[in-house]
Amino acid sequence: MALKIRLRQQGRTNHTTYRLVVTDTRHPRDGKYIEKLGWSRPFDKVGQSAEVNGERVAYWLGQGAQISDNAKLFVAKNAPAVMKEYQQSLEKKKQKICEKRRERRKGAKLA
């Protein structure tokens, strides 16, 4: 089961709200989800208009869930520490892959 963190559209016409959810990639945008991670009310003029549970987002990213582009921007705005940690982990993975490639190329040249 491939998991994805994405925004789920809700609300009424011309007054949408969004939920940040973890869902199976095969489910439709507004279909069922596994866990609600946050919410956003872009048209709310008074008070708090967004909230993200950063601990749970970090947990699901650690479990291998992919994050959509819009959800990535939303989390970066409301829980920047989580996205910074996620970006650092991606950089470490890229560096490991590059190191393995370099070692393989060195071995191929020597043989």
Beta 66-67 vs 3-12: how paired, if at all? parallel
Q: Measured in whole angstroms, how far is the alpha carbon of residue 97 from the centre of its chain?
A: 22
Which residues of the chain are under the pLDDT cut of 50?
A: none
Burial of 61 (0-12, 13-18, 19+ CB in 10 A): buried
- pLDDT value, residue 47: 65
| Confidence (pLDDT) at 107 | 84
Q: What gap in Å lies between CA 40 and CA 38, rounded to an integer?
A: 7
Q: Which domains does the chain have, with CATH numbers?
A: 3-110 (3.30.1320.10)
Handedness of CA 14, 45, 77, 24 (dihedral sign): negative
Structure confidence by residue, pLDDT tens digits, 27-55: 998 889 999 999 999 887 776 789 999 99
Sign of the four-CA dihedral 51, 53, 54, 57? negative
